[in-house]
Amino acid sequence: MHCMARLSPIMAVVPISFLLTLSFFVLLSLEKVQTKKLKNFGFLVVTIIWLAVLIIISGSARRLVKGVNQKKCMMRKEMMMRSMPGMHSEQMPPVMDIK
């Protein structure tokens, strides 16, 4: 699962597009609202949604730039192979020493 981290910046498009669509409809509904308190609340909601989008974008950009730690990925694969039933010790790959 950790090795799937390469796809996570790409998969961030889904929640980003959902949140931006939601903020569009909130802003659209604010045009029909007459009370000032409700308009202020709507702008607060849109601001929080946009902050969430910015956090998702910055997190996915950081992960894209940082990349995946290949040593952790290999260790996780090795641990998963060792815990699989039906595998014999002679079928196991040698253990890597990570320092």
Confidence class for position 62, pLDDT limits 50, 70, 90? confident
Q: Which structural domain range is residue 32 located in? A: 20-75
3-state secondary structure the chain: CHHHHHCHHHHCHHHHHHHHHHHHHHHHHHCCCCCHHHHHHHHHHHHHHHHHHHHHHHHHHHHHHHCCCHHHHHHHHHHHHHHCCCCCHHHCCCCCCCC
Query: Is residue 36 in some structural domain?
Result: yes
Query: Is residue 46 in some structural domain?
Result: yes
Q: What is the pLDDT of residues 70-79, one digit of tens each?
A: 666 666 767 7
Query: Is residue 41 in some structural domain?
Result: yes
Query: Is residue 47 in some structural domain?
Result: yes
For the cut 70, the answer to whether the pLDDT of residue 36 exceeds it is yes
Query: Is residue 2 in some structural domain?
Result: no
Query: Is residue 81 in some structural domain?
Result: no
Looking at the structure of the chain, the number of domains it has is 1
Query: Is residue 60 in some structural domain?
Result: yes
For the cut 90, the answer to whether the pLDDT of residue 53 exceeds it is yes
pTM of the model: 0.61
